[in-house]
Amino acid sequence: MSGADQARHAAAARAGLSIVVPVYNEAAGLARLHADLIELARHLQGRRALSCEVVYVDDGSNDGTLAVARALPAAGLDVQVVSLSRNFGKEAALLAGLDHARLGAVVFMDGDGQHPPALIETLVAHWLDDDCDVVYTAKAHRSNESLTRRIAVKAFYLLLNWGVRTKIPEDAGDFRLLSPRAARALRQLPERNRFFKGLASWIGFRQKRIDYDPAPRSGGRSTWNFRSLMGLSLNGLTSFSLAPLRIATMLGLLLAALALLYGGEIVYETVVYGESVPGYPSVFVGVMVLGGVQLIMLGVLGEYIGKVLFEIKGRPVYFVAEHELKHDAKRDTKLDVTMHDAAE
């Protein structure tokens, strides 16, 4: 490593690393995760002089997760516990974590043990050694998922990325690292309706993909079901792409063209052969098709209008009920933290 490289490296490491963990009813596995994070923080401190903090965002759990999180020791890293006033959903919890993260770089990871803490070291290496800004992880394969789910995922990303310049990578998860400047960029995005995977790739900078095998959940169960996944997909789609509206336009054009051809044929047959086309069934089918398509497209329009209403109301994305910060007991000097908003 050259001297300049070393200086740059040291400057980046001085910024520190905040690890944001949204937790919703994860009391069972939290102590285990924290022990792993402590070990990781010690390792990073020793090898790279990188200071860490962890920000647990309790998303209105009702199983004692908050009490468990509060009791976690700040040894080798600072610990913040942010508790939201109710369950706001994972995307809101991630934003709360991002807002409270005090150090330069930010890692987002799940609190259910599916995101291996050991992988953070790899993410950090790509940030510090290769100058990557957004290091995101993707499932190496989906062979353990059902065929219908895989097809649905494919269709979702096809629609999402249709005709847009900044494609959102397929299969990317929420487990990712953002360099200080990428985290700053993400903080500047004003929208309330957050789709983190999309936003983190939309901001640009140097992006890097890492494949990994997610572990099974350490305890509890996934809160996602078919309905909430549909909700998230629709949300992602309508916040990121105008494809559904474009499809409406194209479908309209196609139907109009078909109607024109069919109308032409009717006129032709009446004039040339003198046949009057029997009307009732064809009219019926036509009305049904048109009515159905129009209702669907009204629904699509409604989704977008709802989104506009939601943004215009400008409500906060979450409320913090309690916030606690524990400084690392063993470190003699407090972290030299320049709060991000103070720095800007």
Q: Which residues bind ligand UDP (CB under 6 A)?
A: 22-24, 26, 59, 87, 89-90, 93, 110-112, 114, 222-224
Residue 131 or 171: the one with the smaller Cβ distance to Mg ion is 171
Q: CB within 8 A of 50, min separation 6: which ones?
A: 13, 16, 17, 44, 124, 128
User: How far is the C-alpha of 98 from the C-alpha of 92, rounded, in Å?
Assistant: 10
- Of 85, 81, 209, 196, the closest CA to residue 138 belongs to 209
Q: Say if residues 104 and 17 touch (Cβ distance below 8 Å).
A: yes
Long-range contacts of 183-188 (CB under 8 A, 24+ apart): 183/98, 183/101, 183/104, 183/105, 183/106, 183/340, 184/340, 184/344, 186/98, 187/98, 187/99, 187/340
User: How far is the C-alpha of 218 from the C-alpha of 196, rounded, in Å?
Assistant: 24
* Residue 161 binds to Mg ion (criterion: CB under 5 A): no
Residue 60 or 220: the one with the smaller Cβ distance to Mg ion is 220
Residue 78 or 112: the one with the smaller Cβ distance to Mg ion is 112
Residue 153 or 300: the one with the smaller Cβ distance to ligand UDP is 153
Q: Which residues pair with 139 in a beta bridge?
A: 212
Residue 104 or 111: the one with the smaller Cβ distance to ligand UDP is 111
* Residue 235 binds to Mg ion (criterion: CB under 5 A): no
Q: CB within 8 A of 243, min separation 6: which ones?
A: 159, 160, 162, 163, 237
* Residue 218 binds to Mg ion (criterion: CB under 5 A): no
| Least separation in angstroms between CB 266 and ligand UDP | 54
* Residue 87 binds to Mg ion (criterion: CB under 5 A): no
SS3 at position 53: strand
What are the structure tokens assigned to 74, written together?
């700040």
What are the structure tokens assigned to 144, written together?
């353990």
* Residue 53 binds to Mg ion (criterion: CB under 5 A): no
| Least separation in angstroms between CB 217 and ligand UDP | 6
Q: For Mg ion, which stretch binds (CB under 5 A), given 105-113, 115-123, 264-272, 318-326?
A: 105-113
| Least separation in angstroms between CB 66 and ligand UDP | 12
H helix runs in 242-279, sequence order: 243-268
| Least separation in angstroms between CB 33 and ligand UDP | 9
* Residue 112 binds to Mg ion (criterion: CB under 5 A): yes
Residue 29 or 76: the one with the smaller Cβ distance to Mg ion is 29
What is the contact mask toward Mg ion in residues 113 to 152, using x (rule: CB under 5 A)? -x--------------------------------------
List the single partner that 218 binds among Mg ion, ligand UDP, none, CB under 5 to 8 Å by kind.
none
Using CB under 5 A, list all residues that contact Mg ion. 112, 114
